[in-house]
Amino acid sequence: MKSLYLLPLLFVAACSPSRHIRLTKGLAAYYPFNGNAYDSSKNKNNPVFNNATLTADRFGNVNSAYHFNGIDNYIDIPNSQSLNMGKQISLCAWVRPTGFYAGTCHGNSILQKADYRDPGCYVMDYDDGLFRNAHHCDGMPPDTTHETFGGKDAPEATPYIIPGQWHFFVYTNDGVKAKVYVNGRLRVSYPSTHTIYTNKADLLIGSNVKNNDAYPFWVNADIDEIRIYNRAINQKEVDSLMKTP
């Protein structure tokens, strides 16, 4: 009789969607920010510079995220082979904006590898370009009530960012479509024109200053749980990451 009771359990386990989600597959770098900025993936993409301040994460756990002051804080991670992708990529982060960059183009660089004009660049950021109809570099002050998340090769996507609240932001590109997810929902899917995510620059978190000091795009925000993949993750994986404590 014991074997009969086990059969339903085995059936449920075999059919569980979680068994088909491998969140370590293709993981190039993972920064949980639990007391430090070290890479928790096997690739050891650790920083050589970090002047951001440890703060509480979205659950209130102390020293479990980093705050960037929007003035001069950033993390610098040296270029490595594992941080240079092929035609596919996924960038994931929890972000709690506490202010908005008011310099030229109003960019807020969550993470960026290479200057935006570099064809091998990858970036996840937010600005008011969607609301301004791409005229956010025309000298007007930023519209801080209409800032949206986006990435290279994909337009920004509503909903508008609410300062002081945590947002889960994911950018993916499978070589055919570039997609933006905000808080678990697919917000935009756009034909990809990007060719390859490879460059010689360091990976910067919290700024673009080393790529282009005329457009430093300082972030004023708390950032946590950054993951970089060398593949495009899917909706189920986005859901699973959003629910991961």
| Residue 16 belongs to a domain | no
What is the pLDDT, as a whole number, of residue 129?
A: 80
Structural domain containing residue 72? 30-243
Residue 131 has pLDDT above 90, yes or no: no
- pLDDT of 20: 60
In a domain, 18, yes or no: no
Higher-scoring residue by pLDDT: 135, 87? 87
Q: Which of 4-13, 21-30, 232-241 has the lowest mean pLDDT?
A: 4-13
What angle is formed at CA 58 by the lines to CA 170 and CA 113, rounded to 5 degrees? 35
HEC string of 122-151 equals EEEEEECCCCCCCCCCCCCCCCCCCCEEEE
Which residue bears the tokens 């189920």? 236
Question: How many C-beta neighbours within 10 Å does residue 46 have?
Answer: 17
Residue 50 resides in a domain: yes
Looking at residues 66-85, what average pLDDT do you find? Answer: 98
Q: Tell me the chain's radius of gyration from C-alpha atoms.
A: 19
The number of residues making up the chain comes to: 245
CATH number at 205 reads 2.60.120.200
Q: Using pLDDT thresholds of 50, 70 and 90, give the confidence band for residue 136.
A: confident
**Residue 77: inside a domain:** yes
Q: How far is CA 114 from CA 27, 46, 175, 201, 217, in A?
A: 20, 17, 19, 5, 13
Looking at residue 25, what is its pLDDT?
97
d(Cα 29, Cα 6) in Å, to the nearest integer?
39
Is 172 part of any domain? yes
Identify the pLDDT of residue 78: 98
For residues 101 and 16, the model is more confident at 101
Q: What is the mean pLDDT of the chain?
A: 90
pLDDT score for 137? 83
> Higher-confidence residue: 155 or 217?
217
**Closest by alpha carbon to 147, among 225, 243, 219, 227?**
219
Work out how many domains the chain is built from and give that number: 1
Kindly state whether residue 80 falls inside one of the protein's structural domains: yes
Helices (H) then strands (E): counts for the chain:
2, 15
| Domain presence at residue 159 | yes
Asked if residue 44 belongs to a domain, the reply is yes
